[in-house]
Structure 1
Amino acid sequence: MMQRFFIYPILILAALFLFGWYFSNITAYLILSLILAALLRPLTNKLNDFHVLGQHIPRWTAILVSYSAIILLLVLLSLLFFPLINNQINILSGLDLEGIYEQIKVPVGRFENWLHKYQLVDSKPGHLFEEIKSSFIQMIAGIDFGNIISQIINTASTVFIGLMAVAFITFFLLLENGLLRRNLLNLIPNPYFELSVATFTKVEKLLSNYLTGLFLQILAIFSIASLGLTIMGVEYALTIALFAAIANLIPYAGPILGATFGIIVGISTGNFADSDAITFLLIKILAVFGVVQMTDNILLQPLIFSKSVKAHPLEIFVVIFAGAKIAGVLGMIFAIPVYTIFRVSIMEFYQGYKSYRIFKIKS
């Protein structure tokens, strides 16, 4: 009996894993849809219970209103990036290449004189600068803008198809409101029914805690970073803080991306009298992100990752890097929820074999 008890769940999990690996795009769409449906379900249910002229708002209308709320939120957040993008376009359109060449000519000349002084090169004076200038011009000329535009179009098409697929799946998940779960449970044999219900419930609770904690983490990082950068007088503080909060979804690499983005924006949009001003700006930005990182490591991540999914930090570390190996950045983001599903399922079935009377009687 023990062998049969473990063989069935293992075969089911193996089949699900193979299906997810072979149809990776569909699996990604389904996972995103399940997460989005879990986030939108409370709002959709409240809107569905609301009465207008004595009648419930139709569920499909409540879903569309929930979609509209998400789209409005995304539009409002994207408005934070428009001033920065416009500023960068103006900077690029007003670049004086000859002026840049003249600015770098002096330090390059000093470096070349130092090389000549110690007889490390034997070229004529000014040769190093001309080589750098020529290489830069060749690099610009070698850019295939047609290929870049084609890649952008292909990427945009793929993203659009993915968004439509996720929106379509999420709509029906919200419309049926638990029908998928009930149908899955109906396929489970009676000896495993009670155990499967307990597993589903525990997985849903842990994932709900994880998503709630993740939202609170994003909100906390955005608040701390925006407040710190504003106090330090860094331009586009809200934009940098929003990017850092979203990038932090990528474990370990996210904080580095956020700090790098803040440094690039700070240097490209600031007016500096000398190199000391640039150094002071870097110190201010790194100080803010240092506080953010300490807060995240000491308070937020242990609470969210270890407590919400009830896993050891070393497990989380290994799982995240395994996800990165399998699916890159998306693998790192979804590694913990997927691992939680498999981990809880296996543990519940193991505990069920030890605890449930039906298995003891049959064994």
Structure 2
Amino acid sequence: MQKFFIYTFLFIVLFGLFGWYFSDITFFFVISLIISAILRPLTNKLNDFHLLGQHIPRWTAIILSYSAIITVLILLSFLFFPLINNQINILSELDLEGIYETIKVPISKVEIFLFKYELLENKPGLLFEEIKDTFIAAISNINVGKFISGIINTTTTVLIGFLAVAFITFFLLLENGLLRRNFLNLIPNPYFELSVATITKIEKLLSNYLTGLLLQVLAIFSLASLGLTIVGVDYALTIALFAAVANLIPYAGPLLGSTFGIIVGISTGDYESGAQLNYLIFKILAVFGVVQVTDNILLQPMIFSKSVKAHPLEIFVVIFAGAKLAGVVGMIFAIPVYTIFRVAIMEFYQGYRSYRIFKIK
């Protein structure tokens, strides 16, 4: 028994070191596991479908599942095209001289105040010119070559990651549980039953968690789009979609969503005075306030606490620990990873107390 726990501990340590050292591969594999878990029900249904008296081949069912996901993503991306086009038109018609004249007045007031109390040695009028010259110099010093090279490198990295995830996910779906069976074959017979129960419980909890996240995204998108449409904010569906996806990032997501909504509202809104601008910001904040109250009171306790059967304080600590270790990515994957280790430890501890097989020397 002691050897079993020693070997198990060594395996976990080595697995953790491997995952840390090859973090990119680990990240791709985890993403692939999640996507395969989402696509497996659809793939299985397509695979069971009869066409001309024959089952659809599994590889064809996987490709059809991929096509369905890609189609949904393309349709959702159409929501952002009008907004992007609007911003391009705004930038193309941007009057820099008008902007300079607009900000010159408040800067001049600040400059006069600083000069009055001898906090500024320059004569009034020079501060604005210095800010203007600094801004122009910063733009002119941008290295176009490095900027383009950075875009190419980023695009290449994203493309490689996308292909890696698609490749791994394809074989996870194609093998349909072969990885799980091979892992179970490595477990000694005395611990086989307990290991199967543990893995089954982990899969069920993670499935509940992913289903809950999907329901949360749909609920936030529906509430935000409805609220923003009612108060008359342009591009309500686009803002709501961004907010729903950003909400996957615990705690920081709602702030990102509301900030994006305010930026889009300000850049596309129709207002003629400061009061109208303030009213527009108030309407956007009010909508997101209602959405977040609903999310915090109804959705999150149901998803994060009940789906993984953990105390909210546990979830809070785990999320911030994930943020400390891996930033935003750590916050997103903190709960699933914690669920795996938590369930495994609890099941084996209960098995140690309940099963006689663990007491065999």
Provide the C-alpha distance between the structure 2 equivalents of 1:10 and 1:346, rounded to a whole number of angstroms.
11
Name the amino acid aligned to 2:3. Answer: R
TM, length-normalised to structure 2: 0.97
In 1: Cα distance, 2:348 partner to 2:149 partner? 50
Q: Which amino acid aligns with 2:123?
A: K
Does the CA-based 8 Å contact 2:250-2:319 persist in structure 1? Answer: yes
Aligned residue number for residue 202 of structure 1: 201
Give the Å deviation of 1:119.
Answer: 4.0
Structure 2 unmatched ranges of 5 or more? none
Equivalent AA in structure 2 for residue 44 of structure 1: T
Amino acid in the other structure paired with 1:277:
Q
SS of 2:79 mapped into structure 1 = coil
**What is aligned with 1:193?**
192
TM (norm. structure 1) is 0.96
Give 1:103-142 correspondences, 5 Å limit. 103-142=102-141
- Paired with 1:211 and 1:135, the residues of 2 have a C-alpha distance of 49
Q: Kindly provide the CA deviation profile for residues 235-285 of structure 1, in whole angstroms up to 9, marking residues without a partner as x.
A: 110000000000011111100000110011111112221111110011001
Deviation, 1:112, is 2.3
Question: What's the counterpart of residue 216 of structure 1?
Answer: 215
In the other structure, the counterpart of 1:280 is 279
Deviations 1:334-360 (A, max 9, x none): 111111111111111111111112223
The answer on whether the counterparts of 1:235 and 1:266 sit within 8 Å (CA) in structure 2 is yes
Q: Which amino acid aligns with 1:170?
A: T
**Residue identity opposite 1:81 in structure 2:** F
Distance 2:198 2:223 in 1: 37
SS in 2 for 1:103: helix
1:266 is aligned to 265
State the Cα deviation string for residues 146-180 of structure 1 (Å, max 9, x = none): 22221111111111111111111111111111111
Give deviations 1:115-167, integer Å, cap 9, x for gaps: 34444334322112112211211221222232222111111111111111111
Deviation at 1:232, TM superposition (A): 0.7
Structure 2 match to 1:50:
49
Take 2:181 and 2:269, find their aligned partners in 1: how far apart are those partners?
A: 57
State the shift of 1:109 in Å: 1.9
By how many angstroms is 1:320 displaced? 1.3
The corresponding residue for 2:169 is 170
What do the CA deviations read for 1:267-314 (whole angstroms, capped 9, x no partner)? Answer: 111222111111001100110111111111111111111111111222
Give the Cα–Cα distance (whole angstroms) in 2 for the partners of residues 144 and 266 of structure 1: 32
Identical amino acids, percent of aligned pairs = 76
Residues 250, 332 of structure 1: 8 Å contact kept? yes
Asked if structure 2 preserves the Cα contact closer than 8 Å seen for 1:116 and 1:122, the reply is yes
> Could you tell me which amino acid in structure 2 is paired with residue 54 of structure 1?
G
Deviation of 1:24 after TM superposition, in Å, equals 0.8
- RMSD over aligned CA atoms reads 1.3
User: Contact (CA 8 Å) 1:5, 1:353: kept in 2 or not?
Assistant: no
Quick one: distance in 2 between partners of 1:355 and 1:234? 60
Counterparts of 2:277 and 2:93, CA distance in 1: 21
Q: How does 1:147-166 map to 2 (within 5 A)?
A: 147-166=146-165
Report the alpha carbon displacement of residue 323 of structure 1 after superposing the two structures with TM. 1.4
Structure 1: unaligned runs, 5 residues or longer:
none
Paired residue for 2:232? 233
Taking the aligned partners of 1:20 and 1:356, their CA distance within structure 2 comes to 32
- Structure 2 distance, partners of 1:311, 1:289, is 27
Secondary structure of 2:71's counterpart equals helix
Are the counterparts in 2 of residues 320 and 336 from structure 1 also a CA contact under 8 Å?
yes
Q: Could you tell me how far apart the structure 2 residues matched to 1:145 and 1:206 are?
A: 49
Is 1:297 equivalent to 2:296 in the alignment?
yes
**What is the CA–CA distance in structure 1 between the aligned matches of 2:77 and 2:206, rounded to whole Å?**
28
Task: Indicate the residue corresponding to 1:351 in structure 2.
Answer: 350
Contact 2:304 2:315 in 1 (8 A): yes
SS in structure 2 at match of 1:309: coil
> For residues 314 and 330 of structure 1, what CA distance do their matches in structure 2 show?
20
State the alpha-carbon separation in 1 of the partners of residues 143 and 311 from structure 2. Answer: 48
1:182 aligns with 2:181: yes
CA distance in 1, matches of 2:224, 2:169: 32
* Matches of 1:156 and 1:283, distance apart in 2: 37
Conservation of the 8 A alpha-carbon contact between 2:115 and 2:123: no
Quote the Cα distance in structure 1 between the aligned partners of 2:307 and 2:8: 24
- Cα deviations across residues 217-243 of structure 1 (Å, max 9, x unaligned)? 000110111111111100110000000
TM superposition shift of 1:105: 1.5
Matched, 1:324 2:323: yes
Secondary structure of 2:307's counterpart equals helix
How far apart, CA to CA, are the structure 2 residues paired with 1:117 and 1:11?
70
1:10 maps to which residue?
Answer: 9
Alignment partners' CA distance in 2, 1:116 and 1:304: 57
**How many residue pairs align between the two structures?**
361
Cross-structure match for 2:27: 28
Could you tell me which amino acid in structure 2 is paired with residue 228 of structure 1?
G
Taking the aligned partners of 1:105 and 1:359, their CA distance within structure 2 comes to 78
